[in-house]
Amino acid sequence: MEKTAYIILGIVAIGWALAVLFGLVVAFPFGLIGLAVIIAIGLLFIRVLLDRIGSAEDDYYDKNVDL
């Protein structure tokens, strides 16, 4: 049941993102500003994920430190 909900949410999120991207392209030239912002945020998000995945220090604290 939970997997089905995640699949549906994923499909809706991808559809929404595509609609936003196509809408920004249609709103040329002002849409290019929004497109650049979305790309920049996406690149920063990927950078944060890669930093978090590769950090041994964060893994240590996740496993050994109780809050």
How high is the pLDDT of residue 40?
96
How high is the pLDDT of residue 5?
96
- CA 9 to CA 17: how far, in whole Å? 12
How high is the pLDDT of residue 24?
86
> Which residues, in sequence order, are CB contacts of 34 under 8 Å at separation 6+?
24, 27
Q: What is the mean pLDDT of residues 2-20?
A: 95
Give the model confidence (pLDDT) of 32-56 as tens digits. Answer: 898 899 899 999 999 999 998 888 8
The pTM assigned to this predicted structure is 0.62
